[in-house]
């Protein structure tokens, strides 16, 4: 069992930058609230997490289709990814047939759900592949040190050109436009670095005209929400384990309510987190959450129910072949098949090899920016005919970050919101998971722009020194707040020579922002804190949506309610779709959701996958009949 080689990033910096960074880190370390930033994250907990994970994967069994159409039985090897040689070897290995019957691009919520559900229904001999840009991680190996924390950027970024040299880093920063987008990159997508909050969108969201008619009644999604929630094993923090930041958060809402200032409900949110050790429904052993606060740099305990622990092992057992470190550049059509042009980065990203594979069904699930970029490039360079809406309708889900400093509060307010990680084992005092509580203003009768959710944020240990310095505050006596709301989804994702950017000059003038800022000011005053915007200079979102939005017709959408991509070419006829081409990820969501999006994206993906396997046009590939399934027919335990 080998630990993956994590390349140090700093050698790429010049001397001046090294000195500046070193100075900043030392100054930050002197501030209270800074967990040891350069300590070794390899603790017994991390070692156990990695061992449990790899042993569990090694115990898995599957049947997988070979190029000659036969099925072979295989045992797990401790990893999900297939050898990259398998991808190159797939090319033209099935004369007269596509290299893959189904190819999925991206392994976040959209991609992982499709991989699991389609593979579960595939007929013998049907070959399903998945290509993922980032690398494969295991719990216990996430980079919790500043020196190995490798952000990722395709393009020059605010930290410097050097970041573009780490295309296999865990984070995607897209920071060249009006809204900075943060996303995950790796087998498991953004689930590897997200806060795991599981929350449904309210009915009113779906009733908006921008949603296609079949989804305008939330009832349609209910069975899929249920399926997603069960698979992600959502539950809220047990009451006897509430940490100080959650108590502060819920207590603040209660105080404002008691004063008659607020009429919001406050509750501990459901999380895709395991609180007591268990083997999950896919047979992967997980340890219980130790409340270390490091969820957003990757859970080194194996407690977060990220996709590499549930949907992706399920996809593997049903024969999906997964290839990591493979970035799709563009797509074209040849002889009725989709030809996917990719860049493979073997050897820790030190080499690059271009290749192509074909597929009969192509599902793009590279996330809001990834999928939109692939389609924009495919249209620009390869003439794929797509809706004029492509790139439009971008929503940042109304994300707004505020900061409450309790330094001068009387009586003292302790939040313990500085992540400590597990370098020194289980923390003696709990920080909590990154987010644990919601103050929910989504009440009927309130205008949509005022229906917002406010959540408490802890910062992971690797970020603590830098953020303490940036905010000039003790993170253990302050609280960062994340607001989600309803922006106007009027942003545009553009592709230029340097890559993609979000254009939305007046994003910060959204009414939902003003609402969130006002509420956060009141929040701060409730316990004697001082409010300031978290990042005054930039707008950030970790919840990018849209760009390939659903619509009733090609005039108002890129895909239909099932994720089928519209074909606007005159010869195709009204309402035509590109046969077998789908988008299934956050990019299809046509409006802001007003709360954290992963559960709704997962439910939409569950529905799209269900409709794909039951589509009579694909009867040769899937064994499912066209009868509507009972809600939980294929639900795993
Ligand atoms: C820090 C952070 C915290 C968050 N917290 C929460 C939360 O608590 N609750 C919640 O509901 N949501 C949260 N989110 C948002 C949520 O994780 C995303 O909305 C969700 O993951 C989107 O799913 P997706 O399938 O659209 O894309 P993603 O999960 O982003 O997956 C897309 C995948 O495609 C890959 N990819 C991209 N381009 C290519 C390409 N060209 N070729 C091949 N592969 C490619 C990417 O590497 C990535 O692995 C958070 C996000 C972040 C970044
Ligand atoms: S708080 Fe720590 S142990 Fe718990 S889910 Fe987050 S990273 Fe994992």
**102 CA distance to ligand 1 middle (Å):** 21
Which residues are registered as beta bridge partners of 304? 273
Residue 1 lies in a domain: no
Whether 636 is in a domain gets the answer no
Tens digit of each residue's pLDDT (9 = 90 or more) over 264-277: 999 999 999 999 99
* Position in ligand 1 atom list of the atom nearest CA 188: 49
Q: Of the candidates 190, 92, 86, which has an alpha carbon nearest to the alpha carbon of residue 131?
A: 86
- Give the model confidence (pLDDT) of 213-240 as tens digits: 999 999 999 999 999 999 999 999 999 9
Average pLDDT of the residues in 508-526? 96
Question: Which atom, in ligand 1's list, is nearest to the CA of 134?
Answer: 47
pLDDT given at position 381: 82
Would you say residue 444 has pLDDT above 90?
A: no
Residue 439 pairs with which residues in a beta bridge?
266, 454
Residue 625 CA to ligand 1 centre (angstroms): 32
Asked if pLDDT for residue 37 goes beyond 50, the answer is no
Task: Provide the pLDDT for residue 7.
Answer: 30
| Sequence-ordered strand ranges (E) for 497-576 | 499-503, 530-533, 539-541, 564-566
In this prediction, residue 159 has a pLDDT band, given cuts at 50, 70 and 90, of: very low
Residue 407 has pLDDT above 60, yes or no: yes
- Whether the predicted pLDDT of 636 surpasses 50: no
Tell me which of 106-115, 186-195, 464-473 is least confident: 464-473
Q: Determine, yes or no, domain membership for 553.
A: yes
Assign 557 a pLDDT band (cuts: 50, 70, 90): very high
Length of the chain: 637
Q: Which residue owns the Cα nearest ligand 2 atom 3?
A: 289
Q: How far, in Å, is the centroid of ligand 2 from the Cα of 136?
A: 19
Ligand 2 close to Cβ of residue 479 (< 6 A):
no
Question: Which ligand number lies closest to the CA of residue 106?
Answer: 1
Q: Give, using CA atoms, the residue closest to atom 1 of ligand 1.
A: 194
What is the number of the ligand closest to the CA of 132?
A: 1
Does residue 143 lie within any of the structural domains? Answer: yes
Q: How far is the CA of 190 from the centre of ligand 1 (A)?
A: 3
Reply yes or no on whether the pLDDT at 535 is more than 90. no
Ligand 2 centroid from CA 106, angstroms: 24
CB of 306 sitting under 6 A from ligand 2: no
Taking alpha carbons only, the member of 27, 47, 12 closest to residue 150 is 12
Predicted confidence (pLDDT) at residue 383 exceeds the cutoff of 90: no
Residue 14 has pLDDT above 80, yes or no: no
Asked if residue 309 has pLDDT above 50, the reply is yes
Task: Please report which ligand is nearest the Cα atom of 274.
Answer: 2
- In this structure, which residue's CA is closest to atom 8 in ligand 2? 299
Say yes or no to pLDDT of 621 above 90: yes
Dihedral angle computed from the Cα positions of residues 338, 342, 346 and 348, in that order, rounded to the nearest 10 degrees? -120
CATH of the domain at 459: 3.50.50.60
SS3 122: strand
Ligand 1 atom at minimum distance from 183 CA: 53
Confidence of residue 68 (pLDDT cuts 50, 70, 90): confident
Paired sense of beta strands 179-184 and 197-198, if any? unpaired
pLDDT of residue 634: 39
- Distance (angstroms) between ligand 2 centre and the Cα of 122 equals 35
Asked if pLDDT for residue 20 goes beyond 70, the answer is no
For residues 434 and 86, which has the higher predicted lDDT (pLDDT)? 434
- 341: pLDDT confidence band, cut at 50, 70 and 90? very high
Residue 599 has pLDDT above 60, yes or no: yes
**Domain residue limits at 315:** 44-618
pLDDT of residue 173: 80
Q: State yes or no: pLDDT of 162 exceeds 50.
A: no
Q: What is the DSSP string of 575-623?
A: T-EEEEEEE-SGGG--S--SS--HHHHHHHHHHHHHHHHT-GGGTTTB-
The SS3 call for residue 465 is: helix
Count other Cβ atoms within 10 Å, centred on residue 127.
26
Better-predicted residue by pLDDT, 587 or 444: 587
pLDDT for residue 424: 87
Q: Which of 11-25, 164-178, 223-237, 507-521 is least confident?
A: 11-25
Q: How far apart are the first and last CA of the chain?
A: 29
Nearest CA to ligand 1 atom 28: 108
Ligand 2 nearest atom to the CA of residue 291, by list position: 1
Q: Please state the domain count of the chain.
A: 1
Q: Which residues line ligand 1 (CB under 6 A)?
A: 105-111, 131-134, 182-186, 189-191, 193-197, 296, 327-328, 365-368, 370, 374, 435, 542-543, 585-586, 596-599, 601
Task: Say how many C-beta atoms besides its own lie within 10 A of residue 10's C-beta.
Answer: 13
Decide whether any atom of ligand 2 lies within 6 Å of the 304 Cβ. Answer: yes
Angle between helices 598-613 and 222-231 (to 10 degrees): 110
Q: Round the average pLDDT of the chain to a whole number and report it.
A: 89
Handedness of CA 169, 172, 176, 180 (dihedral sign): negative
Ligand nearest to the CA of 108: 1
Atom 50 (ligand 1): residue with closest C-alpha?
A: 194
CA-closest residue to ligand 2 atom 2: 292
Task: Give residue 149's pLDDT band: very low, low, confident or very high (50, 70, 90).
Answer: low
DSSP state letter for 70: -
With cut-offs at 50, 70 and 90, classify the pLDDT of residue 427. very high
Ligand nearest to the CA of 426: 2
Strand boundaries in 159-254, DSSP class E: 171-174, 179-184, 197-198, 235-236
Q: Return the SS3 of 419.
A: coil
pLDDT at 160 over 50: no
The Å distance, Cα 2 to ligand 2 centre, comes to: 23
- Can you tell me the mean pLDDT for 449-476? 94
Residue 301 Cβ < 6 Å to ligand 2: yes
Q: Does residue 358 surpass a pLDDT of 70?
A: yes
Q: Of 432-441, 508-517, 529-538, which range is least confident?
A: 529-538
Lowest mean pLDDT among 228-242, 338-352, 438-452, 456-470: 338-352
Q: What is the pLDDT of residue 124?
A: 95
Q: Which of 366, 462, 499 to mutate to test the pocket of ligand 1 (most atoms within 8 A of CB)?
A: 366
d(CA 242, CA 238): 7
Ligand 1 atom index nearest CA of 327: 42
State what percent of residues in the chain have pLDDT above 90. 77
Q: Could you give the CA distance from residue 580 to residue 564 in angstroms, rounded to a whole number? A: 7
Best residue among 52, 295, 300, 434 to mutate for probing ligand 2, ranked by most atoms within 8 Å of CB: 295
**For residues 279-293, average pLDDT:** 97
DSSP code of residue 194: S
Atom of ligand 2 nearest to the CA of 458: 1
For 591-604, what is the mean pLDDT? 98
Name the 3-class secondary structure at 353.
strand
C-alpha–C-alpha distance, residues 592 and 400, integer Å:
13
Q: How far, in Å, from the CA of 97 to the mean position of ligand 1?
A: 32
> Which atom of ligand 1 is found nearest the CA of 370?
38
């Amino acid at each position: 069992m080998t630990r993956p080689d994590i390349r140090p990033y700093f050698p790429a910096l010049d001397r001046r930058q090294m000195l500046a960074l070193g100075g900043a880190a030392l100054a930050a370390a002197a501030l209270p609230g800074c967990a040891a930033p350069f300590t070794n994250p390899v603790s017994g907990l991390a070692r156990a997490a990695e061992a449990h994970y790899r042993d569990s994967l090694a115990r898995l069994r599957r049947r997988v289709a070979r190029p000659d159409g036969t099925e072979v039985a295989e045992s797990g090897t401790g990893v999900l990814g297939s050898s990259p040689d398998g991808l190159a070897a797939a090319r033209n290995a099935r004369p007269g047939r596509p290299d893959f019957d189904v190819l999925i691009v991206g392994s976040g919520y959209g991609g992982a759900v499709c991989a699991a559900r389609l593979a579960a229904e595939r007929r013998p001999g049907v070959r399903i592949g998945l290509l993922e840009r980032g690398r494969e991680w295991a719990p216990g190996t996430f980079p919790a040190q500043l020196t190995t924390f490798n952000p990722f950027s395709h393009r020059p970024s605010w930290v410097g050109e050097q970041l573009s040299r780490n295309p296999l880093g865990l984070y995607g920063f897209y920071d060249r436009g009006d809204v900075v987008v943060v996303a995950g990159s790796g087998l498991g997508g953004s689930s590897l670095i997200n806060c795991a909050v599981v929350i449904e969108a309210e009915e009113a969201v779906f009733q908006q005209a921008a949603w296609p008619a079949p989804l305008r009644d939330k009832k349609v999604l209910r069975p899929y929400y249920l399926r997603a929630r069960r698979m992600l094993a959502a539950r809220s923090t047990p009451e006897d384990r509430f940490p100080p930041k959650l108590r502060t958060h819920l207590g603040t809402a209660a105080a404002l309510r008691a004063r008659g200032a607020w009429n919001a409900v406050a509750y501990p949110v459901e999380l895709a987190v395991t609180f007591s050790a268990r083997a999950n429904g896919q047979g992967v052993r997980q340890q219980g959450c130790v409340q270390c606060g490091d969820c957003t740099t990757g859970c080194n305990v194996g407690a977060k129910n990220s996709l590499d622990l549930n949907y992706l092992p399920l996809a593997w057992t049903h024969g999906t072949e997964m290839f990591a470190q493979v970035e799709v550049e563009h797509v074209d059509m040849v002889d009725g098949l989709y030809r996917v042009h990719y860049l493979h980065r073997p050897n820790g990203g030190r080499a690059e090899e271009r290749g192509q594979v074909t597929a009969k069904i192509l599902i793009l699930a590279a996330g809001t920016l990834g999928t939109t970029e692939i389609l924009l490039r495919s249209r620009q360079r390869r003439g794929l005919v797509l809706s004029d809406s492509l790139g439009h309708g971008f929503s940042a889900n109304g994300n707004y970050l505020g900061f409450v400093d309790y330094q001068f509060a009387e009586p003292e307010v302790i939040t313990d919101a500085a992540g400590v990680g597990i370098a020194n084992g289980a923390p003696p005092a709990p920080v909590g998971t990154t987010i644990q509580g919601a103050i929910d203003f989504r009440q009927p009768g309130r205008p949509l722009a005022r229906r917002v959710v406010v959540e408490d944020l802890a910062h992971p240990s690797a970020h603590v020194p830098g953020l303490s310095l940036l905010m000039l505050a003790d993170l253990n006596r302050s609280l960062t707040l994340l607001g989600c709301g309803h922006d106007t989804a009027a942003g545009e994702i553009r592709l230029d020579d340097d890559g993609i950017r979000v254009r939305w000059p007046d994003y910060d003038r959204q009414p939902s922002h003003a609402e969130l800022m006002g509420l956060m000011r009141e929040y701060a005053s409730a316990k004697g804190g001082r409010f300031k915007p978290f990042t005054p200079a930039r707008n950030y979102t970790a919840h990018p949506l849209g760009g390939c939005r659903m619509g009733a017709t090609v005039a108002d959408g890129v895909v239909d309610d099932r994720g089928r991509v519209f074909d606007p070419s005159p010869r195709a006829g009204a309402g035509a779709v590109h046969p077998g081409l789908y988008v299934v990820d956050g990019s299809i969501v046509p409006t802001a959701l007003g709360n954290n999006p992963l559960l709704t994206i997962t439910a939409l993906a569950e529905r799209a996958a269900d409709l794909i396997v039951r589509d009579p046009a694909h009867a040769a590939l899937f064994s499912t009949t066209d009868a509507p399934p009972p809600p939980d027919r294929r639900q795993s335990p």
